[in-house]
Amino acid sequence: MKISGKYTGTLALCKFALRRDRVWLALWTIGIVSLVVACGPLFPEIAKTPAELASFSETMKNPAMIAMTGPVYAEPYTYGILYAQMMTAWILIVLGVMNFFLVSRHLRKDEEEGLIEVMRSLPIGRSSIVLGTAIETLLANLAIALLSTVGLVLTGVESIDLAGSLVLGGIIFCGGLIFTAIAMLFSQIFMTSRGATGFSFAVLGVLYALGAMGNIEGGAMANISLFSFVFKTSPFSGNYIWPFFILLGEAVVIGFIAVLLNARRDLGAGFIPQRNGRAHAKASLSSPLGFALRQTRTSNIAWILIMLVVGIMYGSIFGDFENFVESSDFFKAMIMADVDAGANAMLSFMTYITLIMSVIAAIPVINVVYRIRGEEKRNRIEQIYSKAVAKRSFLLSYVGIALVLSVLLQAAEGLGLWMSTKVVMSEPFALSEVLAAGFIKLPAIWLIAGLGVLLLGLLPRLTSLVWLYLGTSFFLLYLGRVMDIPKAFMDGTAFGALPDCPIENFAPLPVALVTVMAAALLAAGTIFYSKREISYR
Amino acid sequence: MSDTIIKATGLVKNFGKTKALDGVDLAVNAGEVFGFIGPNGAGKSTTIRILLGAIRANAGNAAIFGKDVWNDAVEIHKRIAYVPGDVNLWDNLTGGEIIDLFIRLRRGGDKKYKEELIEKFDFDPTKKAGTYSKGNRQKVALVSAFASDADLYILDEPTSGLDPLMELVFQECVHKVKREGKAVLLSSHILSEVEKLCDRLTIIRNGKIIDTGTLKELRHLSRNNVTVETKNAIEGIEKLEGVFDVANSGDEVSFKVDAEATGSVMKRLADADISHITVSPPTLEELFISHYGVKQ
Ligand SMILES: Nc1ncnc2c1ncn2[C@@H]1O[C@H](COP(=O)(O)OP(=O)(O)OP(=O)(O)O)[C@@H](O)[C@H]1O
Ligand SMILES: [Mg+2]
C-alpha cells in the first residue's frame, strides 16, 4: 500500500464494480441509448411538412404539453427543438431510475448484505467505496451521453446536428451525475436501500413537478428544477453551455456532502434511523384479506392516483383537439376508421384513449394477483400456510382485491379525463359516456387477471407469459391501426373483442363471452392452485 | 405414551431425479419431545414440509391428530405451531405486527404469555422486520409459536440463529409445553440440544431412517468409552472381542467397548486390580459418527 489514505483502493473497487455490473450496465446503456436514438426519426413522421411543423408548435404550446414535457424554448420550430422539448423529461426520468438503482445497490444493498463489512476489512480507504461507485456511475453516464450524441447525429434527421446533439449529451451527462449525487446523499441518510431509493424517487417526483411549474411560469421558477433548467441550454438552437457548469457544480456539492456524511457515519447506520412502528397489529390485520389489503394498500392507492393523473393529462389534450389530432397523421390514423364510419372525431379519440388506458390499468391488477407468486418465491408463503389458512381463501383475497381495484382504476381514469375535458372543452363529454368507455373494457382486464391466476395455479414458473399477452395486446391496439394490421387481429384480443362504447353500441354477446371466459379461467386457476404444492427455492 | 400425534409411514418424495425421502416412518406421541436429527440434505425439512401439507408425498401416508396432512391441512394447522429454520418476513411490517398476525391466523393464543415471551426473548417488537437479524427473525416465529395454543409444535432447526442465552429461554419453552402434555417434533443438528430436550429421537440420512429410539436405546447399540488405571498390567486387551481403539498413555489405558462385551471385559479388568476407572456412554456426536462412519 503506497497511500494509506481515505481513498486507498478506489480504482480497484471501481474496476471490480464495473466487472460485477457489466451486464446490468450494458442493458441499461442499450435501453437508454435506443430510447434516445430511436425516437429521433419519429418526429418527421408526426409533422411531415414545414407548415405542419409550424402548426404543431402551436399544439406544443398547450399548457398541458408544456408542463408534461417542456416549453417551446426557441422559434422557429425545428425537429431538433421538437425532439428536445418532447424527449428531455423522459430521458431524464429513465436516467434517474438507473442511477438510483445503481448507487443504492452499491452503497446500501451491499451494506445490508454484509458485503461492505468484508470489503472494509480489506486495505481499503473509508471513502473508497463511495468514490468508486461515483466514478463507476460517472463513466456509465458518460458512455450513455456519448453514444446518444453519436446516435442522434447518425439519425440524419434535419436540424438534429452535431452541436445540438452534443448539448443533449451534456444534459444526459449532467443530469445523470445529479441523480447519482442525490442517490449517494440519501444512501447515507437512510438505513435501508428501500428508504434510500424510495426517497430518491420521491425527490425525482418533486423535481419533475417543480419542473412542470417552472416550464409554465418561466423566470426564476424555471431555475429551481433541472427538469426546466436544462432548457436554458437551448439544444439545437442557441446551444449554450453555461448551464452545464451550474449543473456540474450542484452535482459536485451534493456528492461532496455525501462523501463527508459517509465518512462520519457508522457501518450499517444512517442519519435517519428506521422509524419504529407499532408493537401490536391493528384489528384489521387478522385475516388473509386484511393481510392482503395491508400489503397492497400503498401501491393500490398510488396506481389509482396515477390513473387519475393520466386521465387528466389525456383529457387536457381535448382543449386543443383540432391542432393536436389534425396536425398529426399518427393520431388521425388511429381514429380515421371510426370517423369514416360516421362517429364524432372527439368521441372516437376519447374511446380510443380510454382503451389504451384500460390496457395500462391491467398492469396493477395483475401485479396484485402476482403478489402471491412473490411471497412464494421469497419463501414467505409457508409462514402463511402453516397457519390455519386455506390456499383458496388466501388466493381469493388477492383476486378479490384485484377485481375491485380494476373497477376503481377504470373509474379514476374516467373521472380524471372527464374532469379535465369539462374544463378545456366547450361541449364536454357526458360523464356516462366517459365511464362507459372504461367500464365496458373491465371484462378484458378480468380475463387477463384470470389468465394470471391460471398460470399461478398451473405453471407458476411461467407466470410472466401473461405480460407477453398484455404486451401483444397493447402493441396491436396502440399501433395496429396506424400500421394497417387487419382488424381481425385487434378483435382477437380480449380488449378488442369487447364493443368500443360509446361509439359502438353495447353488444351483450361479446361482453358475456369475455366475462364467462374470465370467470372460467379464475375458477380453474383457483382449483389448480389449491391443489398444487408450494414450490420452494 | 398414549395418543399418537404424528403417524407417518413409508413417505417417499422425489424432486426430479433426487430421491429426497425414501420410505420415512415417524411416530410422535403426546407429551414427548421427539428429536429428528440428520446431516445437511438428509431430508428433515422435506419430511416436515410434507407434514405441514406444503408439499405432497409421492408415496406413503402421513396423518396428524388422525387427519390426513394434505387434505385436512387447514383443520390440522389450527392446532399446530411451526417454526422454520430460515424465517423470511415482510419488510414493511413490524415484528410485533407479524407475531399478532401469526397468532390470529392460527386462531387463538395467550396474549399475556406472548408479552412475557417477548420480554424473555429480549425482543423489540416495534422494529420493521427488514431490519431484524437472523436470530431476531427466528424470535418472531418462536414467540408466535409458543404463545399460541397448539397441541403440536413442529420446530425445524429453530435455534440456528439464537445466542446461548436465548437458547436457554428456548429450552425452557420446550420444557413448558412438554409439561402441558403437548408433542414437539424438533429437527436439529445441534446434538447437545437434542440430548438435553428429547425423549426419543430418530436419525435420518439420505432420506432413510437409520435408527429410532430413546437416547438410552440408541446408546446401547454402540460403544462405551472406558478409561482405566490398573495396579497390574493388563495384557492383550486389544485382542478381546468387542474392544476397539485401544490407546496407552502412561499408566492409563483407554478404549471403546461394545455394549454387549462390557461385562466380560470388566471381569478381565477386575483381575488386574483396578485403581481408577471411568466409563462414559457415547456422546451423540459419537453415535452420529459411528452410524455414518460405518455406513459411508
Ligand atoms: N424444492 C426442492 N427441489 C429440489 N430438491 C430439493 C428440494 N427441496 C429439497 N431438495 C433436496 O432434497 C434433499 C433433502 O433436503 P432437506 O431440505 O429435506 O434436507 P434437511 O435435512 O432439511 O437439510 P438441512 O439440515 O440442510 O436443512 C436434499 O438433497 C435437497 O437438495
Ligand atoms: Mg432443513
Could you give the CA distance from residue B105 to residue A7 in angstroms, rounded to a whole number?
52
Q: Chain A contacts of B104, Cβ < 8 Å? A: 281, 285-287
Q: How far, in Å, CA of B41 to CA of A457, rounded?
A: 28
This prediction's pTM? 0.75
For residue A281, give how far its alpha carbon lies from the nearest alpha carbon of chain B (Å): 4
Ligand found nearest the CA of B204: 1
The response to whether residue B21 sits with its C-beta less than 6 Å from ligand 1 reads no
Is there a contact between A416 and A310 (Cβ–Cβ < 8 Å)? yes
According to DSSP, residue B86 is labeled S
| Tens digits of residue pLDDT in A272-289 | 666 678 888 888 898 999
CB-CB neighbors (< 8 A) of A385 in chain B: 52-54, 73, 77
What is the distance between the terminal CA atoms of chain B, rounded to a whole angstrom? 34
Evaluate the omega torsion of the peptide bond into residue A502 and state whether it is cis, within 30 degrees of 0: yes
φ/ψ of residue A74, rounded to 5: -155, 150
Compare CB distances from B74 to A191, A390, A536 and report the shortest one's residue.
A390
Nearest alpha carbon to residue A210 among A201, A221, A200:
A221
In this predicted structure, the answer to whether residue B58 has a pLDDT above a threshold of 50 is: yes
Spatial contact of A361 and A495, defined as CB atoms under 8 Å apart: no
CB B222 within 8 A of CB B289: no
DSSP A291-315: HHHHHHHHHHHHHHHHHHHHHHHHH
Nearest to B125 among A279, A287, A386 (CB): A279
- What is the model's pLDDT at position B285? 66
As a whole number, mean pLDDT of residues A1-26 equals 79
What per-residue confidence (pLDDT) applies to B233? 79
pLDDT of B116 above 90:
yes
What radius of gyration do chain A's Cα atoms show?
26
Measured distance CA(B247)–CA(B236) in Å, rounded:
12
pLDDT in tens, A351-370: 988 998 999 899 999 999 99
Cell output for A359: 390496457
Which one of B58, B69, B77, B97 would you mutate to disrupt binding with A, by most A Cβ within 10 Å of its Cβ? B97
Which pLDDT belongs to residue A431? Answer: 94
DSSP per position, B184-243: EEEEES-HHHHHHH-SEEEEEETTEEEEEEEHHHHHHTSEEEEEEEESSPP-SGGGSTTE
Cα–Cα distances in angstroms (integers) from residue A259 to residues A7, A313, A387, A450, B114, in the given order = 11, 40, 47, 50, 44
Q: Give yes or no for a contact between B59 and B12, defined as CB atoms under 8 angstroms apart.
A: yes
Contacts of A286 in chain B (CB under 8 A): 100-101, 104-105
Q: What is the pLDDT of residue B295?
A: 43
| Interval B137-177: pLDDT, tens | 999 999 999 998 899 999 999 988 888 899 999 999 999 99
Average pLDDT, chain B: 88
Pocket test for ligand 1, best of B36, B46, B205 (most atoms within 8 A of CB): B46
Question: pLDDT by residue (tens digit) across A358-409?
Answer: 998 999 999 999 999 999 988 999 999 999 999 999 999 999 999 999 999 9
Residue of A385, A386, A537 to mutate for B, most B C-beta atoms under 10 A: A386
The whole-number average pLDDT for the span A18-41 is: 91
- Mean pLDDT, rounded, of chain A: 87
Overall size of chain B counted in residues:
296
pLDDT tens digits, A145-184: 999 999 999 998 889 999 999 999 999 999 999 999 999 9
Minimal-distance CA residue to ligand 1 atom 16: B43
Residue A306: C-alpha distances to residues A309, A363, A410, B29, B181 (Å): 5, 12, 11, 57, 56
